[in-house]
Amino acid sequence: MKKRTLPGTELTVSELCLGTMTWGEQNTEAQAHEQLAYAVANGINFIDTAEMYPVPPRAETQGRTERILGNWLAGRPRGDLVIATKVAGPGRRDWIRGGRTDLTPDVIAEAVGTSLERLKIDCIDLYQIHWPQRNVPAFGAVAFDPAKEREGPSIEAQIEGMAAMIEAGRIRYYGLSNETAWGVTTFHATARRLGLPGPVTLQNSYSLVSRNADFDLAEALFREKMSVLSYSPLAGGMLTGKYLGGKLPEGSRFERFTTLGGRFRTPMVVEAIDAYAALAQRRGLTLTQLAIGYVRSRWFVGSTIIGATTMAQLEEDVAAAETTLDEATLAEIAQIQARYPNPGM
């Protein structure tokens, strides 16, 4: 599998990153370890997790995914593995640290410590802010609402907290997630003013049906020399084709968890995916190949995060990473995007 060095870092990562949010809920520890073995054997060296996982998040399971990964890492040579995790943002999960989720330097330090303990490693390669401290529309919301403004630690305080962890050797780099163009540029401008490290990556949803990174974010990424770690490249499984025609397979994520992935289950997304499925069929591709091939074609994508609940899904995703879309296929994708510009937000 091809690898690339993320801009502004010494992190050389595989084009695919193994996501972990199902481990400990939809997947057992043994299944997770089987996924890890297969991924590494097939050239994946980048693994992404979060202190909040597994999903859907619950107080009873919080931190379980990091522990599962840590048990696999324990006693194993680190080699070229790149481990990324995330600190939860404020307000959504009051059972994390007893509600202490405002991103102050001391909370960041505490969260780093507990993640390191669960992961059983000495240093996190990439530590990400899971969602912004401030009021922003996120996770499929599109309208900014000033009425939702709240007090909280400044961007300066967050940068200082991350810089302290880098200085202490507990993390190597930090990144943002579910962030806006304003946030990206303000983090960098503030870090330059303080003479401290800025964020190096942005983990946002990006796929054929979720294209926010193509717009104002693209300019911010270009000017700040950042890359996207694209999550949900298959739109929660919608772009695998398993939900085509209104199907709801037994045991699938959307059948088990009816509140998950609402942004990917709208009529407009379904229409768009039908069009992409027809294009894939005309081109002799699977819908998964078309979807992953498209994300890999984008200049700002550093790595594409895939997740699977079965080995068959993981094998299909890894195989799809070998697909390079030709110009004619990309042109037809652009025609569909003109009709459905950003249905999954």
The answer to whether residues 115 and 79 touch, using CB atoms and an 8 Å cutoff, is no
Q: Of 153, 171, 194, whose CA–CA distance to 82 is shortest?
A: 171
What's the gap between Cα 137 and its chain centre?
Answer: 17
Main-chain phi, psi angles of 182, to 5 degrees: -60, -45
- Nearest one of 290, 139, 116, 286 to 212, comparing CA atoms: 139
| pTM of the predicted structure, to 2 decimals | 0.95
38 is catalytic: no
Query: How do residues 53-70 score in pLDDT, each as one tens digit?
Result: 999 999 999 999 999 999
Architecture of the domain whose range is 3-235+297-323: Alpha-Beta Barrel (3.20)
pLDDT per residue as tens digits for the range 275-320: 999 999 999 999 999 999 999 999 999 999 999 999 999 999 999 9
Catalytic residue among 38, 53, 173, 231: 53
- Residues of the chain with confidence (pLDDT) below 50: none
Q: Domain boundaries in the chain?
A: 3-235+297-323
Dihedral of the alpha carbons of 38, 27, 117, 71, in degrees to the nearest 10 = -50
Token reading at 230: 């694209």
Q: How far apart (Å, rounded) are the C-alpha atoms in residues 338 and 334?
A: 6
Could you tell me what percentage of the chain is helix, strand and coil, using 3-state DSSP and rounding each to the nearest 5? 45, 15, 40
